Amino acid sequence: MRRKSGGPLRLLKDGIIAVLILVLGTLIAARLDGMNEERFSGLFAAIDGDTIARDGERFRLIGIDAPELGQSCMRDAEQWPCGREAKAYVQTLLRGGAVECSGSERDRYRRLLVRCRIGERDLAGQIVKAGYAVTTEYFLFSNEQAHAQDRKAGIWSGTFERPGDWRRENKAADMDVPLAGLLGLVRHILGW
C-alpha cells in the first residue's frame, strides 16, 4: 500500500498552482479582448451629453447616462433645458485638448462603446462630476457623482427624471400621435 506524500502542504501547493492558472487565463483573455479594441484620437463633436462623433461615426461613452436633448429638468421651480446644457458642456470639454477613445463593443444602434480621455482626465467622469450625467455602473464614477450631488451641480441642482425613465415615457407619448405612434410601436416591438 502506498502512502500519500505531502499531505496538507501538497494541498496548499496545488491550490496555489490552481489560482495562478486562473489568473494567467484571465490575463490572456483580457489581452485577447484588447486586441479587438479600436482606438480613435483627434477632434470630436458632441451629439448629446453621452454621445460624441468623429468623421461621421458615433461613439457612446461607457458608464454614464445623460439627459436627452429634448429633456428638461427643474431648478428653483422653473424648467431648464438640461439635455441641451449637457451637450454644450461636453462640447466645451472636447475643445480642451486631444481626445483619445478606445472600445471594442457596439450597442444596438451600432455606436462604438468607448472610454475617452482628454489628457489625464476621463471624459465621462468629468461629465458626471459636473452634474450633467448619472453613472450607470455601481462603482464607476460613483465618487464623481457624489461630488456633483454634494455641490448640487447640474441636474442635481433641482429635480430631474432619470434619462432612461424619460426615454421610456416619451416613447409611450410618441404612441399618442398616429404616425409617430405606429413608428413607435414598430420600434418598441423590434427593440429599437
CA angle, residues 155, 156, 160, in degrees to nearest 5: 55
Share of the chain above pLDDT 90, in %: 66
| Residue 64: all three cell numbers together | 454614464
What is the pTM (predicted TM-score) of this model?
0.73
Position 180 confidence tier, pLDDT thresholds 50, 70, 90:
very low
Q: In the structure, what pLDDT confidence band is assigned to residue 29 with cuts at 50, 70 and 90?
A: low
Please report, rounded to a whole number, the percentage of residues in the chain having pLDDT higher than 70. Answer: 80
Q: Count other C-beta atoms under 10 Å from residue 86's C-beta.
A: 28
pLDDT, tens digit, 9 for 90 and up, residues 127-140: 999 999 999 988 89
Mean pLDDT of the chain: 85
Number of C-beta neighbours around residue 57 at 10 A: 13
Using alpha carbons only, what angle is made at residue 105 by residues 189 and 52, rounded to the nearest 5 degrees? 85
Whole-angstrom distance, CA of residue 73 vs CA of residue 168? 16
Specify the pLDDT at position 12: 80
pLDDT at 56 over 50: yes
Amino acid of residue 93? L
Residue 125's pLDDT is: 97
pLDDT of 183 > 60? The answer is no
